Amino acid sequence: MKLTKHAHACVTLEKDGTRLVIDPGTFTPDAAEAVSQAHAVLITHEHFDHFDDKLVAAALEAHPELQVYGTAAVAAALGSQGGRVHAVTAGDAFTVGSLTVTVHGHRHAPIHADIPCPDNVGYLLDDGAVYHPGDAYFAPDAPVSTLLLPTSGPWTKLGEAADYVRTVKPERIIQIHELMLSDLGQHSTANLLGEKGLTGIPISRLDTGATVQL
């Protein structure tokens, strides 16, 4: 499988001609281009930095074969679109082309008691090859080879991130959701959470547009 890192929480995953995009939000400048080439879009939750509703709605109109998967709130924002928009919850499983997907978790991580926590789901692809947790440190009850780890945001805490990695026990980590950190902050975070830090697991900081084989 090939992974392309876009800005913030958005990634593209490709395998045997199937292309999925996860969390194309408003912080991702090339989200429209990525979605235009996708067979399916997966949305973890409705926050704007993960879900640009106008962009995804326009893509559904322009590309009649496009499928979208997300929480009930995401599905409600888009409408059924002739059955091409699918509401998913923990325990669901589906296949898009050559890629299998299972759904995990229920809630966004808490930010503050005064701020509601929306539903949030994570996506485990290709029998554990890669896991995107959205905005939650939920550990799927399954092996994970590559964990996409959120490292900045109003809900994140480095100590919790380290414990999360220790629970998941992935083979490798790729940093996502990093835009609120400066370059120095990203470097410091990678040192703390990476192979020589609290987790003992290699962490990759990918530039926007970078592609890696998983």
Residues 10-46: tens digit of each pLDDT: 999 999 999 999 999 999 999 999 999 999 999 999 9
Residue type, 130: V
Backbone dihedral angles phi then psi of residue 201, each to the nearest 5 degrees? -120, 135
Count Cβ atoms below 10 Å from residue 100 Cβ, excluding itself: 15
pLDDT digits (tens, 9 = 90+) for 100-120: 999 999 999 999 999 999 999
Distance separating alpha carbons of residues 24 and 30, to the nearest angstrom = 9
pLDDT at res. 120: 98
Q: Six-digit token pair at 203?
A: 């962490």
pLDDT at res. 19: 98
pTM comes to 0.97
- 178-185, long-range: CB < 8 A, 24+ apart: 178/8, 178/150, 178/151, 178/152, 178/205, 179/7, 179/8, 179/27, 179/152, 180/152, 180/153, 181/151, 181/152, 185/152
Average pLDDT over residues 135-152: 97
3-class DSSP assignment, residue 102? strand
pLDDT at res. 88: 98
pLDDT at res. 12: 98
CA distances from 163 to 149, 160, 193 (A): 12, 5, 10
pLDDT at res. 162: 98
